[in-house]
Structure 1
């Protein structure tokens, strides 16, 4: 294996290319410690040591730090690690590591998401948002079974945010409110009931 390129980035970071392919990100200090130089060979032993003792360890720490402040979906964590210039293999290992300790759990994420947002959002809106976050369909369905009651409370709260007296709104204002509720995914029969658009 030959170190074909050491690409310097900001903040003392260096992208290391081996045999023409990007392999990992190190700091200038690491480059010195491992004595890496362009157009020079890198032994299997040193390569393994860099991966296991430096790159993978940092990827695990990064994953833990990301999850420490906010629950994330697997897809979101992958994106964050990718942005930090980790390769797919390293990302996979870091994700397996946090999953082992249940720090990453898409099923739990879906349950919590629906529990905390069900009173302000329609079922369709919640489904769309969870799908965009990469949550599997079966986890979404299970979470709805466990956590979602009905849309009546959610639409009541959505209407209450806009007005305390629906009867005081003009027909045009009611239609505007109905349109915004429809865009949020609420069912038309509930929209008609709570906006009184055809009364």
Structure 2
């Protein structure tokens, strides 16, 4: 009888967590472990939530990554790092990054948008060399490849700032 209560309590706790926001399987397991549920109970709870469609790493990783790209204009390297920190399996991370940035064009478009936004605040009193360096550094920190960052910051800065 006690084990049944533990299972019900664990499922209730999982639903409370999911009511706040979506979670990866890893995050859910970690949060339930902190609440002192047995690993067997946690495993069964997670399996049940996956069967019911409440825990879906692929769907959640894509939604999370797209929101980060749209809101923060992050590049593929940064998205890959963020998804890995959230505990998504390596193959889910790879699929998600490829789905969003599969083509080099997609990364370039996102980087251009990030560069335009940054240029609005950069041009005040800086020479062109300093602007290019700061823009390049900003794009690399945002997770864009060095090649894309260089092409935008060093080669295409005139085209971007004219628009």
Under TM normalisation by the shorter chain, which class is it? 0.7 to 0.9
Offset, 1:108: 0.8
Equivalence for 2:161: none
Instruction: Provide structure 1 residue ranges, at least 5 long, that are not aligned to the other structure.
Output: 1-48
Contact 2:76 2:144 in 1 (8 A): yes
The reply to whether residue 100 of structure 1 matches residue 58 of structure 2 is no
Q: Which has more strand, going by share of residues?
A: 1
1:8-23 aligned at under 5 Å gives the runs none
Q: Cα deviations across residues 153-174 of structure 1 (Å, max 9, x unaligned)?
A: 2212222232238776422243
Using CA pairs under 8 Å that are at least 6 residues apart, name the structure with larger relative contact order, 1 or 2: 2
Equivalence for 1:50: 2
Offset, 1:198: 9.7
1:9-158 aligned at under 5 Å gives the runs 49-52=1-4, 54-119=5-70, 120-148=73-101, 149=103, 150-158=106-114
Aligned length: 150
Contact 1:178 1:197 in 2 (8 A): no
Structure 1 runs (4+) deviating above 6 angstroms are 165-168
User: 1:165 & 1:55 partners in 2: Cα distance?
Assistant: 54
CA RMSD, aligned part only? 2.4
Question: What is the TM-score when the length of structure 1 is the normalising length?
Answer: 0.66
Distance 1:165-1:131 versus aligned 2 partners, 3 A rule: closer
User: 2:147 & 2:99 partners in 1: Cα distance?
Assistant: 24
The structure having more radius of gyration, on CA atoms, is 1
Contact 1:174 1:197 in 2 (8 A): no
